[in-house]
Amino acid sequence: MTEWVREYTDALYAWALRKTGDSHLAEDLVQDTFLAAAEGLQNFEGNSSPKTWLMAILKYKIANHYRRAINRQTAHPGDDFLQQFFATDGHWLRNARPGNWQSADGNLLSYEEFNAVLNRCIQHLPEAMQACIRLKFLEEKKGAEICQELGVSQTNYWQLVHRAKLQLRKCLDDNWFSRS
């Protein structure tokens, strides 16, 4: 097992960091992966490479982490979240109305500074929303696949995406577009 730790830690950590965007969480998940592998070593039949087996354990650990995060949040956290954006008639509140987003060349993602602000905004989302945004928009997975991976209903998934997009929009308005 010690040889596997030396050989595969970097690859496992890189994968976990890409999936979570959190270096401390990635370290914890890799550590949990090796602990689970050590406990289940007798079940490793050698039908796949050790790296493939460890990656499968890590993928399970990541999915399980996000499932727990989603379950910690209530399925319907109440209307107070939406009340910060919308009036009771469904129209935008005047002070919450999105600003006009424009960039000189129309491609904000080509700006390193914008990407830094976007990543900070994503990191400030609740874990469940972070997972949905990362999987949908950064990894370009389909909704059904994300629901299965995170163990959530389609309704809950789309609610998380909608609320995450609202929070990202506000964060980017406050931290990027208001500076322009």
Task: Kindly state the average pLDDT of the residues 106-121.
Answer: 79
Task: Kindly state the average pLDDT of the residues 26-35.
Answer: 92
Please name which of 101, 91, 86, 81 lies closest in space to residue 174, comparing C-alpha atoms: 101
Please name which of 77, 89, 3, 83 lies closest in space to residue 38, comparing C-alpha atoms: 3
Tokens matching residue 180: 């322009």
Whether the pLDDT of residue 96 is over 80: the answer is: no
Whether the pLDDT of residue 78 is over 60: the answer is: no
Neighbours of 160 (CB within 10 A): 25
Q: 17: Cβ–Cβ under 8 A, 6 or more apart, which residues?
A: 23, 26
The per-type count for the chain, helices as H runs and strands as E runs, is 8, 0
CA atoms of 93 and 10, how far apart (whole Å): 47
pLDDT at 74: 47
Please name which of 140, 115, 138, 130 lies closest in space to residue 161, comparing C-alpha atoms: 130
Whether the pLDDT of residue 162 is over 70: the answer is: yes
CB 164 within 8 A of CB 125: yes
CB 21 within 8 A of CB 122: yes
CA atoms of 27 and 105, how far apart (whole Å): 38
pLDDT band at 75 (very low <50, low <70, confident <90, very high): very low
pLDDT at 142: 92
What is the dihedral sign for C-alpha 35, 36, 41, 45?
A: negative
CA atoms of 170 and 164, how far apart (whole Å): 10
pLDDT band at 117 (very low <50, low <70, confident <90, very high): confident
pLDDT tens for residues 132-158? Answer: 888 888 788 898 988 888 888 888 888
The whole-model pTM stands at 0.56
What stretches of the chain adopt beta strand conformation (E)?
A: none
Structural domains present in the chain = 2-72 (1.10.1740), 80-177 (1.10.10.10)
